[in-house]
Amino acid sequence: MGRFHKNNFQVNLNLNIRGLEQSTTLLINEKSRELQKKGKKIYKLGLGQSPFPVPEIVVESLRQNAHQKDYLPVRGLPQLREAVAEYNWREHKIKSNPDDILIGPGSKELIFLLQLVYYGDLIIPTPSWVSYSPQARIIGRNVQWVQTGYGDNWRLNPERLDLICRTDPSKPRIVIINYPANPTGYTYPLERLKELAKAARKYNVILISDEIYGMIHHTGQHVSIARFYPEGTIVSSGLSKWCGAGGWRLGTFSFPENLRWLLDAMATVASETFTATSAPIQYAAVTAFKMGNEMNEYLYFTRKILREIAKYLVHKLKEMNIDLQLPQGAFYLFPNFEFYREKLQKTGIYTSNELCNTILSKLNIAMLPGSDFGRPPEELTVRIAYVDFDGKKALESSKKYGHNGTNGTMNGTFIRENCQPLVKAFDLLGNWLADL
Which residues contact ligand GLU by CB under 6 A?
23, 25, 47-49, 108, 129, 131, 182, 385
**CB contact at 8 A, 325 and 435:** no
Pinpoint the alpha helices (H) of 9-146: 24-37, 56-64, 78-92, 107-117, 132-139
Residue (181 or 324) nearer to ligand PMP, CB: 181
Quick one: 199 exposed, middle or buried, by C-beta within 10 A (0-12, 13-18, 19+)?
buried
HSE-CB at 141 with a 13 A cutoff on CA atoms is: 26
> What gap in Å lies between CA 302 and CA 325, rounded to an integer?
21
Residue (100 or 109) nearer to ligand PMP, CB: 109
- Looking at residues 135 to 194 of the shown chain, list those that interact with ligand PMP (rule: CB under 6 A): 178, 182
Residue 127 in contact with ligand PMP, rule: CB under 6 A: no
- Looking at residues 200 to 239 of the shown chain, list those that interact with ligand PMP (rule: CB under 6 A): 210, 212, 238
Residue 240 in contact with ligand PMP, rule: CB under 6 A: yes
Least CB distance to ligand PMP at residue 240 (A): 3
Applying CB under 6 A, among 32, 50, 107, 287 the residue interacting with ligand PMP is 107
Residue 251 in contact with ligand PMP, rule: CB under 6 A: yes
- The pairing of strands 173-178 and 143-147 is unpaired
**CB contact at 8 A, 259 and 406:** no
Least CB distance to ligand PMP at residue 7 (A): 34
Residue 369 in contact with ligand PMP, rule: CB under 6 A: no
Total site size for ligand PMP, rule CB under 6 A? 13
Candidates 105-113, 214-222, 371-379, 414-422; binding stretch for ligand PMP (CB under 6 A): 105-113
23 is in the binding site of which of ligand PMP, ligand GLU, none (Cβ under 5 to 8 A by kind)?
ligand GLU
Amino acid at 109: E
Residue nearest to ligand GLU (CB): 48
Residue 246 in contact with ligand PMP, rule: CB under 6 A: yes
Residue (241 or 307) nearer to ligand PMP, CB: 241
Give Cβ neighbours of residue 11 (< 8 Å, ≥ 6 apart): 4, 5
Amino acid at 228: F
Least CB distance to ligand GLU at residue 313 (A): 17
> What gap in Å lies between CA 315 and CA 122, rounded to an integer?
36
Alpha-carbon torsion angle 24, 149, 427, 365, nearest 10: 10
Least CB distance to ligand PMP at residue 356 (A): 18
